[in-house]
Structure 1
């Protein structure tokens, strides 16, 4: 009979860890969160507003059988809680402790940042208590998201403007809409680039002023240039190219989107699978570390292992210097996303992985390996060719030491002819190329996440969900993998901006994230944050309910077959549909596209 019960979040992780810990443990899974805020009480928040926002939690209906099993299995046993090492994981541990009547002051908490036998057994010797400050931070975050999400969504629904809004997603939508307005308002400006084309090369004109060259200026310059042109300067210097740092969640999502074409949800799903474990030769092994860090720090033991690997496989001169850079918003002591063993090369495990898993693992493996390798050294030769004080620049590049680029692909060499000072260029053509300034590029998932991170909006655990929400509610479409706001999305963003501009903006959201981090650090008390936020927020909500214009119905030119009232185009989170304008008296609906999840009848508001 098992002496100890170890509870993890996922069944896959449970299976892997069970194979490591032996008969002294029985490993069970909670399958994520087991409880959530009730939808009863004022606003359906599940919070007692008048009693310090005291939360009321209920078991998630789909988790009742799991909870019953956990209660039965843990009776009279020592229980160790091993949910993920983040705010949500700490909250899951606390909810489990509460339901199972465990002492939160006891050392019954363990966290695994990698799922390998050595790492798991090591951490089981270092039990700790539940971090209640981290739990408090998660509770306040959940309360804020519930209050803001429910209230703003209710306003939008009552005004027939949109289905949902949220603390982070609505700010992300505003970024997309504001950029789209900037793009629409952009007026292209004509300018000219000047090139010198000779037999063996093409050189670019060196501008002496910051402003763009007009057509008139370009023609004047062309007239002033005469052959032969003379080589007036040759400069050579060695440029170093540093590798990227090891991955944070944000940078992994960006590169997976840019290089692999993976959206954020798919990247996180695959990364979670690689973290929880892949069966390799009969043993389940976690291939990467915890996939939701905001730090690119690496453990000294891994650094040493990797440097030895580099020296053995590439040579001592390829060993680089460890570098890391954490942002001001970095929280916790998590490592970067890295392979659990640098000796487990992508090609060695490819046959055990699905193609998408292999591609993501290879990206993580190569980036981590490169981050600890020496920089590339590139010889850059710049030749200046002159006529009547007008200079053209010819640049060549040659890699003299590939460094980290030996792992992936090195910069391409750019060959240029061998020229000497005072050499003359007797023949050539001066080409004037008409150009037009371009508007900013729309966000794709990678650039939007990068912008959100730079503004301090959201956290590693929220990026993927935010990207999904922007698409699922019909507020944006993807064109060539870039976000284009729909008319509904623009209407929602503008309406929120008109009535909640003190709330739905980057400064407020970033400041709120920092305050939530301060709660986790014990610097401020969670209740005080909710107390200062709620009263002015309710004033904004009441003002919007009284004064926000209701959107005009989108009539489709047909009458309802049941009550003969006009039919209108509506939208739920499951897609567009046709409904009766007489709702709620008449509940006739007709679908115009297949819902992307459950049927519309099963739709319910979520906080």
Structure 2
């Protein structure tokens, strides 16, 4: 019997069918060992020796593998064809050697780029040994991420309370987003004017031409800066005579893009399908592992984590045949196309992402796929096919025009592009971030010296339009991935997990597909730029990636690379430890000044306190995060959020309370204020004897529209809707952390909008509460699952449910929330097992009161040390095994807070 080890149980089942009865395929369920989250897991003083830990779930699977190997004839390691896959095979082999079950049994390593019968049989026929340099590169990356997170994150907690974590690649990606936001904030728009003449040929054809020169001077796009100059030129052209100066037509070719790599697939899926990077990888994983077609599980695409742009010769031949069949021989180039990557640090050991069978057209498989799978498969198929099609042939025409009006002269230019042969464009055109597809703009046929006239009908003969320069756009996921790849930051296979980590940490938010940095993310970035600048520099991070790639090529020693890094990094951390928090805040005040203290435009001091006369505004930190406060605290209690909202500035709330009127019952002032948690209304003033009533503005309410009536409505909450007809107990409506709701006897039901809180009637409230209870709210039976996934390996069903805070996976007593933007209907059993196993491992075991008391100090130390013991660079993209559960946990509040921060650092790593 031959034992084959893969990561996924889905792959194991498929591959076992292909190999037959002489093979037993077992799944490791991802990584089987991890670095324990405690000090000493990586030991710089012992040549970076690492201590690995196996959690209970993985131990059970390793025991099963060991028992099978003990009676086997041969062990075949068939994990994924990348660095993480090589590492998993290495871990499994290490464990089996320690268990002494291998003896003299042969051990082979096989890799296949697609889960098809032919690909697997070919791999089995060509085994190799474990790639030691690739494993070394994994060890180096794993140790780096552990050391950075474990060392740097605790510094953040001490100097910036409320900060979550920092990481080797994640922090650099965050800096890109924050730097772009700073560019936008300091950008000053410049006025410019465009002038276009609508011209007509003797044959009555019309076209537009833009100004390029006036009175012998060239005019660029932004050179006309005021209305007076624009009017002068427009007036001259309105009475001018026009003549064609020259006509130049040049043929041009447009070549297709290469097949997809991991990063280009993420970019294009974002632009064309609206997928997040993580969603793209989830769907691609399913297409790679296989879909049931005709009773057999078939892998539809090749491995989706790759930097390579080349595809196999048989795939090229198949593509050329399909092109000829579907489009004709004139769309097949004379010679096959071969591509090479221009990206930094590209590793082209694997093929590009392509369909496993190019004769399997999208329409043929659509009925076997869900909507997202079908759309992504079609995208991969079209891109692969287009990469082997003939180039598009264009004709680009430029018409230069002379204008005269007495002694005044001007020049204009019209440009156009016409597609003479569409080539690959007949099938596929690459998307762009600005959605600016190349459109055909046919110009009329004219000859040198032809006379032209201004168009007599339609638009104005000469148009002068005012414009303003625009700041650089915020990054989208697609453009950020492209930028990171250009700079050589991180690995393309880790970009999805990096972006997801930034959102999970609430360092950035996704608004209209744009990545918007949040205040906590900007503070972390400013801190790192002030005190650890080298480690968030783009060139330094890229050079470190190059060293890691050289390790994988066998050119560098991984311990030597770590030794050089650790010497300087640990020294930098030691220097910062002695800094006072006040020194840190002074540095951040200066670096973030354009953001937190913007120029008021009237010459006044932007840091002057708007409430007291002598105070200076400064960045403050608390366990809840950062805010702006007055230096005269506690005499002056003025606070606000870091960034002034546009609404707050318009209404004066950003610069102090705005009185909306007086409460008719008490006579006290009702004011709009901007606090550390945002805009709110307040009744009366603060005093030692009485804390005034306050109510936050709903996110959907505009401060500019807020009046006394609306403010009093907010201050009157909660509102009693009426008595429930079943028990006569009150139903109340209110605004909460998660939005508007009605409440009755422990059941909370969401309302559609904040305005409904003030208008909801008894019937509507009773219906909403009944519906919530039917879905699993308090007092009724548990709701039916949204999706039944199957059985857990340890027994019991695994299902997806809708919860109060979003969809979640449930197994036994373990509830695991689905990641943001995850479609509950697309969740697979394998993904669900990852979530519930990880959640179960995090749950602390119950201890007796005596043990909790005696072990409090140790528990605090352990939870505090949870920093960056986990590599988020690539492990998050794989199928990680669940971590070992903590054996002790103190109920102390401090320990809990630090545990949360430590977990953030541990998951960060990129």
Partner residue, 1:413: 440
Determine the C-alpha separation between the residues in 1 that align with 2:326 and 2:104. 49
Matches within 5 A, 1:42-191: 42=40, 46-77=41-72, 78-101=74-97, 102=102, 107-159=107-159, 160-191=161-192
Partner of 1:201: 207
Q: Which segment is superposed worse, 198-207 or 331-340?
A: 198-207
* Cα distance between partner residues in 2 of 1:302 and 1:148: 43
* Matched residue, 1:521: 553
Please list the CA deviations of residues 82-111 of structure 1 after superposition, one character each: whole Å capped at 9, or x if unmatched.
111111110000001111225899551111
Aligned counterpart, 1:512: 544
Greater shift in the superposed pair: 428-437 or 391-400: 391-400
Inter-CA distance 380–535: structure 2 relative to 1 (3 Å threshold): closer
Task: Indicate if the aligned counterparts of 2:383 and 2:428 stay in contact, CA closer than 8 A.
Answer: no
2:569 equivalent to 1:553: no
Q: Is the 8 A contact 2:36 2:51 kept in 1?
A: yes
SS in 1 for 2:166: coil
Whole-angstrom CA distance in 2 between matches of 1:529 and 1:129:
25
- Does residue 474 of structure 2 align to residue 437 of structure 1? no
CA distance in 1, matches of 2:475, 2:80: 31
Number of the residue aligned with 1:8? 6
Residue in structure 2 matched with residue 460 of structure 1 by the alignment: 492
The 1:129/1:106 distance shift into structure 2, 3 A limit, reads: farther
- Alpha-carbon distance between aligned partners in 2 of 1:508 and 1:296, rounded to the nearest angstrom: 26
- In the superposition, the TM-score normalised over structure 1's length comes to 0.89
User: What SS does the corresponding residue of 1:534 show, helix, strand or coil?
Assistant: helix
Distance, in Å, in 2 between the alignment partners of 1:237 and 1:459 is 40
Distance 2:302 2:255 in 1: 24
Deviations 1:214-266 (CA, angstroms, capped at 9, x unpaired): 22443333344333312222222222121111111111111111111100000
2:733 is aligned to none
What's the counterpart of residue 231 of structure 2?
A: 219
User: Hey, what does 1:424 align to over in structure 2?
Assistant: 451
Aligned ranges for residues 486-497 of structure 1 at < 5 Å? Answer: 486-497=518-529
Per-residue deviation, 1:424: 2.6
- Between the aligned partners of 2:179 and 2:105, the Cα distance in structure 1 is 48
TM-score (ref. length: structure 2): 0.60
Instruction: Output the CA distance in 1 between the equivalents of 2:104 and 2:145.
Output: 26
Which residue of 2 is the match for residue 325 of structure 1?
Answer: 340
- In 1, Cα distance between equivalents of 2:57 and 2:476: 35
- Distance verdict in 2 for CA 1:446–1:105, change over 3 Å: farther
Partner of 2:756: none
Q: Distance in 2 between matches of 1:167 and 1:266?
A: 23
The whole-number CA distance in structure 1 between the counterparts of 2:165 and 2:554 is 32
SS in 2 for 1:100: helix
Which SS does the other structure have where 2:536 is aligned? coil
1:536 shift after superposition:
2.1
Distance 1:461 1:397, change over 3 A: closer
Q: Matched residues in 1 for 2:130 and 2:19: separation?
A: 22
373-382 or 245-254: bigger deviation: 373-382
Distance in 2 of aligned mates of 1:427 and 1:463: 54
Give the distance between the partners of 1:408 and 1:525, measured in 2 at CA: 45
Inter-CA distance 106–219: structure 2 relative to 1 (3 Å threshold): farther
Distance 1:356 1:333 in 2: 28
Distance 1:175 1:412, change over 3 A: closer
Which runs of 5 or more residues in structure 2 are unaligned?
201-205, 430-436, 456-460, 583-619, 626-638, 641-675, 678-735, 739-804, 807-816, 819-838, 844-895
Quote how far apart the aligned CAs of 1:34 are.
0.7
Shift of 1:384: 2.7
Task: Give the structure 2 partner of residue 229 of structure 1.
Answer: 242
Separation in 1, partners of 2:417, 2:245? 19
Verify: 1:475 aligned to 2:507, yes or no. yes
Give the RMSD, CA atoms, in angstroms. 2.7
* Cα distance in 1 between the residues matched to 2:105 and 2:560: 24
CA offsets 1:304-333 (integer angstroms, 9 cap, x no match): 221122223322221134031223411241
What SS does the corresponding residue of 2:34 show, helix, strand or coil?
A: strand
Q: Is the 8 A contact 2:253 2:393 kept in 1?
A: yes
Distance in 1 (CA, whole Å) between partners of 2:373 and 2:472 is: 33
Q: Residues 107 and 128 of structure 1 are in contact (CA less than 8 Å); yes or no, is this contact kept in structure 2?
A: no
Q: C-alpha distance in 2, partners of 1:314/1:457?
A: 40
Give the match's secondary structure for 1:294. Answer: coil
* Cα offsets for 1:330-360 (capped at 9, x unmatched): 1241011111111010110000011001111
Corresponding residue SS for 2:168: coil
| Pairing partner for 1:244 from 257, 264, 278 | 257
Count of equivalent residues:
574
Q: Shift of the alpha carbon at 1:397?
A: 3.4
**Structure 2 vs 1, CA of residues 555 and 35 (structure 1 numbering), >3 Å: closer, same or farther?**
closer
Larger Cα Rg: Structure 1 or Structure 2?
Answer: 2
Secondary structure of 1:341's counterpart equals coil
C-alpha distance in structure 1 between counterparts of 2:394 and 2:564, whole Å: 56
Q: By how many angstroms is 1:156 displaced?
A: 1.5
Q: How does 1:328-347 map to 2 (within 5 A)?
A: 328-347=344-363
Rounded to whole Å, the distance in 2 between the matches of 1:130 and 1:501 is 38
1:539 paired to 2:551: no
- Map of 1:582 onto structure 2: none
Shift of 1:129: 0.6
Match status 1:282 vs 2:295? yes
How big is the shift at 1:15?
1.6
Match of 1:316 in 2: 329
Q: Answer yes or no: is the 8 Å Cα contact 1:106–1:129 preserved in 2.
A: no
Partner-residue secondary structure (3-state), 1:374: coil
* Partner Cα separation in structure 1 for residue 331 and residue 441 of structure 2: 24
Provide the C-alpha distance between the structure 2 equivalents of 1:55 and 1:555, rounded to a whole number of angstroms: 35
Partners of 1:31 and 1:229 in 2: how far apart?
74
Q: State the 1:171 CA deviation.
A: 0.5
1:492-545 deviations in whole A, cap 9, x for unaligned? Answer: 100111111111211111111011111111111111111122132122222222
Contact 1:97 1:103 (8 Å CA) reproduced? no
Aligned twin of 1:588: none
**Preserved CA contact (<8 Å) 1:106 1:128:** no
Rounded to whole Å, the distance in 1 between the matches of 2:550 and 2:297 is 38
